[in-house]
Amino acid sequence: MTDYRTLRVALLGAGAVGSQVADLLLKHGDELADRAGATLELAGIAVRDVDAKRDADLPRELFTTDAETLIVGSDIVIELMGGIEPARTQVLHAIASGADVVTANKALLATHGSEVFEAADQVGAEVYYEAAAAGAIPIIRPLRDSLAGDRVVRIMGIVNGTTNYILDRMDTEGADFADVLAQAQALGYAEADPTADVEGYDAAQKAAILASLAFHTTVPLDAVHREGITSVDAAMIESARHAGYVIKLLAVCERLAATEEGATEAISVRVYPALVERTHPLASVHGANNAVFVQAEAAGDLMFYGAGAGGVQTASAVLGDVVSAARRHIAGGVGVGESTRANLPAVPIGHVITRYQITLEVDDQPGVLATVAGILSEGRVSIATVEQTVIEADENSRSGGSARLVIGTHKAREQDLSETVERLAASGVVERVVSVLRVEGN
């Protein structure tokens, strides 16, 4: 065996991902050394409770509750605690101590990324976070490096496994949200408190990270428009299927051309359940899998597919970062840092231009369609397709029951659309606005 320089690796956290990282580091030490050009010595694992049960059988003497001491003198610190504090403090401590940091902490990066990256820049350290955006799928390096010479136009990502699992089951079984959520919780695909997933918070954090990389711009979490999937019901899924769509929770990161003379480009970052054509590559992402569809000016359409979560899968991404950090230590030089100089402004959701599917329950009376069409036209929303079906016919008359109108629009401005929908709701002829969904994917 080659005689390599030894690098000291500190691990913070030994949950589902952390225990797998430790296990693989110990099991494949020689192999990783050959790849990194350095021996990776796991110096210790900082946890809250040394005696807690772990997913892997790890040497007890590695565990400590004293993260701060463990960090000092480490070359690489792997932060897998999750959450903002004490993760933020320990990461800053690691950087200040001269270590490179590897983290899977999307919450931390989406909320305190600038602070962390700036601290790293100050001392020439590097922060690696391949596991923070789409689990095991290599998406950070492709965006950060491979596409750095291109202009990303749009990202559409299925970046939350729990919601994709739920929507996929609803689609295949015709089941309702609550039932599938309960199933998912029983199977361990959803947390006891599913809020972070089903309300889109997790996806929004990942969207902020992906958009920052894709557009070379610091995208704060509060610039991300967020809607969850709790209002998606079996009827919406069925109606989507009928129209050739599937409903997916999408993280959409979009570059918007300058619309006026002298104006600059802008970006839009948003998370919501959207209609995706069944022929689109994203439509065939099933179960808890993730996929990121990227459109770039020169490269065209790309897609990255794989497991979005899971302890051992995410550990793969973390260990790739550890090897990268080790190689950088051996090669010398300072960290490359984040590319954020484009500074593109993020527009509010009202400025977004996309297509919509509006489902209405209307009086089944002569002239109703004309009234609805008139309101849409006044609101600058152009109709692409209409399908009207009678849902409750009054047998004693030629009309008078209710009809369902499913309207597919051409591209419209979100603000125009939402104002128009309000006007529809207030009009005498519309009994109920059943749903308004965006259609994504050109």
Annotated active-site residue 206? The verdict is yes
State yes or no: residue 318 binds its own copies (CB under 8 A). Answer: yes
Query: Tokens 């050739």 correspond to what residue?
Result: 244
State yes or no: residue 161 binds its own copies (CB under 8 A). Answer: no
Q: Which of 321, 364, 414, 440 binds its own copies (CB under 8 A)?
A: 321
Restricting to residues 180-219, which ones interact with its own copies according to CB under 8 A?
216
Q: Of 149 and 188, which CB lies nearer to its own copies in the complex structure?
A: 149
State yes or no: residue 20 binds its own copies (CB under 8 A). Answer: yes
Q: Of 4 and 349, which CB lies nearer to its own copies in the complex structure?
A: 4
**Residue of 27, 53, 206, 248 with catalytic role:** 206
State yes or no: residue 301 binds its own copies (CB under 8 A). Answer: yes
Q: Which of 36, 77, 282, 407 binds its own copies (CB under 8 A)?
A: 36
CB of residue 105 to its own copies, shortest distance in Å: 18
| Ramachandran angles phi, psi of 269, nearest 5° | -130, 120
State yes or no: residue 299 binds its own copies (CB under 8 A). Answer: yes
Q: At a CB cut-off of 8 Å and minimum separation 6, what does 27 contact?
A: none
DSSP three-state, residue 152 = strand
Cα–Cα distance measured from residue 1 to residue 34, given in angstroms and rounded to the nearest whole number? 9
17 is known to lie in a ligand binding site: yes
Write the DSSP string, 68-131: HHHHTT-SEEEE---SSTTHHHHHHHHHHTT-EEEE--HHHHHHHHHHHHHHHHHHT--EE-TH
**Quick check: 282 and 146 in contact, CB under 8 A?**
no
Q: At a CB cut-off of 8 Å and minimum separation 6, what does 146 contact?
A: none
Q: Of 149 and 366, which CB lies nearer to its own copies in the complex structure?
A: 149
Q: Which of 324, 357, 359, 435 binds its own copies (CB under 8 A)?
A: 324
Helix (H) or strand (E) holding 440: strand 430-440
Cα torsion at 312, 316, 319, 324 (round to 10°)? -170
State yes or no: residue 145 binds its own copies (CB under 8 A). Answer: yes
Would you list which residues are annotated within the binding site for NADPH? Answer: 106
The residues of the shown chain that bind its own copies, judged by CB under 8 A, are 2, 20, 24, 28, 31-32, 34-37, 130, 136-138, 140-142, 145-151, 216, 281, 284, 296-307, 310, 312-313, 315-324, 327-328, 330-337, 339, 341-342
